[in-house]
Amino acid sequence: MKKAITQNNTVIRWPASLDMLRKMTNASIPQNAQPPLTVEQLTLQHPEPVSKPAGDVVIELAPEFIDGVLTQKWATRDYNQTEIDQQKDKRAIDVKAECTRRIYEVVNPIAQINLAAAAGGGVLTAGQMTIYQSGLAWIKQSRDNCIVLEADENLDIMDDNNWPTPTVEMIALAEEF
C-alpha cells in the first residue's frame, strides 16, 4: 500500500516514501525505519486499508482523514465508450489470434501452400481431395466463429468447446504436407 506524508491531519504528499520525508526535513533517518514515522511535524504513514470496491474502473485516490484516521480512498466509474470500443477491438484481435493459432496448429502455412498446390495440380487422390475440402470448410467455420466469439465476451476463447473441431483425417493429411 502507498504511504502518505501528513501534517496536522492533512495529506501533504501522496504517494510518499522515506526518501521524500528525508528530503522534506533534511533529517537523517535510518534506512530501516518503518512507518508511522514523525519528523519535524511531518508523519510518514500507511493509511488504514479499505476493501477495494467493485467497478469497471477502480482507482486509488489520495487517502483522507476520517474521524482523525488516515483512510485509504477509492474512486469507481463505468467504462466510457472509448474504453468499451478498445476492449472490443482487443477482444477481436485476441479472437483472431486464437483462431489463427488453432488453424496453424492443424495445418501450418507451408502445409496450406503445399496442399493448395497439390489440390490445384490434381496430385491429391479423390479421398484426399474430399478431406482437403473438409479442411477448407473447417477453416471457414473457424473464421466465421470469430464473429460469434467477438460479440459474446462471456464465451471463453480458450475453451475448445467454443471452436469447431478438425477431424483426425484433416490432421493426418496436413501432416503429410
Q: Is the pLDDT of residue 84 over 90?
A: no
User: Running DSSP on this structure, what letter comes out for residue 81?
Assistant: H
Please give the model's pTM, rounded to 2 decimal places: 0.58
Question: What was the pLDDT predicted at 1?
Answer: 84
Residue extents of the structural domains in the chain:
3-77, 81-176
Its sign, for the CA torsion 30, 35, 37, 42, is positive
User: Running DSSP on this structure, what letter comes out for residue 3?
Assistant: E
pLDDT band at 88 (very low <50, low <70, confident <90, very high): confident
* φ and ψ at residue 71, rounded to 5 degrees: -125, 135
More confident residue, 33 or 146: 146
- Which residue has cell 533529517? 27
Q: At what angle do helices 168-176 and 81-106 cross, to 10 degrees?
A: 70
User: Running DSSP on this structure, what letter comes out for residue 33?
Assistant: -
Chain centroid offset of residue 171 CA = 31
